[in-house]
Structure 1
Amino acid sequence: MQLERRGYVKAGHWTPEAAVEHPEAVRQLHREFLRAGANVLQTFTFYCSEDKLEISGNVTNITGAQINEAACDLAREVANEGDALVAGCVSKTPCYAESHSETKVKAIFKKQMDDFLKKDIDFFIVEFVNHVEEAGWAVEVLKTSGKPVGATLCISPHGDMDGVPPGECAVRLVKAGADIVGINCHLDPLTCIRTVKLMKEGLQKAGLKAHLMIQPLGFHTPECNLGGYTSLPEYPFALETRAITRWDIHKYTREAYNAGIRYIGGCCGFEPYHIRAIAEELAAERGFLPPASEKHGLWGAALEMHTKPWVRARARREYWENLLPASGRPKCPSMATPADGYETAGI
Structure 2
Amino acid sequence: MDYITHTHTHGETPTKPPPPPSPPSPPHSSCSSSGGYKGCERPWSSCPLQSSALSLISCSDLLHSLQLPTSSTSLLHTMAPGAKRGILERLNAGEIVLGDGGFVFALEKRGYVKAGPWTPEAAAEHPEAVRQLHREFLRAGSNVMQTFTFYASDDKLENRGNAVGFTGQQVNEAACDLARQVANEGDALVAGGVSQTPSYLSCKSETDVKAIFKKQMDVFIKKDVDFLIAEYFEHVEEAEWAVQVLKSTGKPVAASMCIGPKGDMHGVTPGDCAVRLVKAGADIVGVNCHFDPMTCVKTVEMMKAAVEKAGLKAHYMVQPLAYHTPDCNCQGFIDLPEFPFALEPRVLTRWDMQQYAREAFNAGIRYIGGCCGYEPYHIRAVAEELAQERGFLPEASKKHGMWGSGLEMHTKPWVRARARRDYWEKMKPASGRPLCPSMSTPDGWGVTKGDAALMQQKEATTKDQLRPLFEKADAKN
Output the TM-score relative to the length of structure 2: 0.72
- Root-mean-square deviation (CA), in Å? 1.1
1:345 aligns with 2:449: no
C-alpha distance after superposition, 1:105-131 (max 9, x if no partner): 111111110111110000000111010
Contact 2:119/2:157, CA 8 A, preserved across alignment: yes
Aligned mate of 1:333, from 430, 437, 445: 437
Q: Which residue of 2 aligns with 1:142?
A: 246
For residues 402 and 257 of structure 2, the distance between their equivalents in structure 1, rounded to whole angstroms, comes to: 33
For residues 226 and 395 of structure 2, the distance between their equivalents in structure 1, rounded to whole angstroms, comes to: 24
For residues 163 and 356 of structure 2, the distance between their equivalents in structure 1, rounded to whole angstroms, comes to: 41
For residues 366 and 265 of structure 2, the distance between their equivalents in structure 1, rounded to whole angstroms, comes to: 26
For residues 90 and 73 of structure 1, the distance between their equivalents in structure 2, rounded to whole angstroms, comes to: 16
Q: Which residue of 1 aligns with 2:330?
A: 226
Q: Which residue of 1 aligns with 2:416?
A: 312
Contact 1:15/1:56, CA 8 A, preserved across alignment: no
Deviation at 1:100, TM superposition (A): 4.4
For residues 34 and 56 of structure 1, the distance between their equivalents in structure 2, rounded to whole angstroms, comes to: 34
Aligned mate of 1:242, from 327, 346, 355: 346
Deviation at 1:56, TM superposition (A): 4.5
Aligned mate of 1:2, from 90, 103, 106: 106
For residues 305 and 171 of structure 2, the distance between their equivalents in structure 1, rounded to whole angstroms, comes to: 38
Equivalent AA in structure 2 for residue 152 of structure 1: S
For residues 225 and 124 of structure 1, the distance between their equivalents in structure 2, rounded to whole angstroms, comes to: 29
1:166 aligns with 2:276: no
Structure with the greater relative contact order (CA < 8 A, sep ≥ 6): 1 or 2?
2
Equivalent AA in structure 1 for residue 357 of structure 2: T
For residues 157 and 200 of structure 2, the distance between their equivalents in structure 1, rounded to whole angstroms, comes to: 15
Equivalent AA in structure 2 for residue 345 of structure 1: M
For residues 373 and 352 of structure 2, the distance between their equivalents in structure 1, rounded to whole angstroms, comes to: 13
C-alpha distance after superposition, 1:81-114 (max 9, x if no partner): 1110010000001111112411111111111101
The structure whose Rg is larger is: 2
Comparing 119-128 and 311-320, the one that deviates more: 311-320
Deviation at 1:158, TM superposition (A): 0.4
1:65-144 correspondence to structure 2 within 5 Å: 65-144=169-248
Aligned mate of 1:271, from 352, 356, 375: 375
C-alpha distance after superposition, 1:1-48 (max 9, x if no partner): 111111111102110010011001100110111111100010000001
Contact 2:323/2:346, CA 8 A, preserved across alignment: yes
Runs of 4+ in 1 over 3 A off after TM superposition: none
Q: Which residue of 2 aligns with 1:44?
A: 148
Comparing 324-333 and 160-169, the one that deviates more: 324-333
Q: Which residue of 1 aligns with 2:132?
A: 28
For residues 206 and 220 of structure 2, the distance between their equivalents in structure 1, rounded to whole angstroms, comes to: 21
Contact 1:52/1:346, CA 8 A, preserved across alignment: no
Output the TM-score relative to the length of structure 1: 0.98
Deviation at 1:310, TM superposition (A): 1.7
Comparing 24-33 and 94-103, the one that deviates more: 94-103
Which stretches in structure 2 are left out of the alignment for 5+ residues?
1-104, 449-453, 458-477
Deviation at 1:316, TM superposition (A): 1.1
C-alpha distance after superposition, 1:35-80 (max 9, x if no partner): 1110001000000111111114342431111000000000000111
1:302 aligns with 2:412: no
Contact 1:152/1:183, CA 8 A, preserved across alignment: yes
Contact 1:152/1:181, CA 8 A, preserved across alignment: yes
Comparing 96-105 and 8-17, the one that deviates more: 96-105
Q: Which residue of 1 aligns with 2:52?
A: none
For residues 174 and 316 of structure 1, the distance between their equivalents in structure 2, rounded to whole angstroms, comes to: 44
For residues 4 and 150 of structure 1, the distance between their equivalents in structure 2, rounded to whole angstroms, comes to: 26
Deviation at 1:345, TM superposition (A): 3.4
C-alpha distance after superposition, 1:216-249 (max 9, x if no partner): 0010111011221111111111111111100000
DSSP 3-state at the match of 1:294: helix
Which stretches in structure 1 are left out of the alignment for 5+ residues?
none
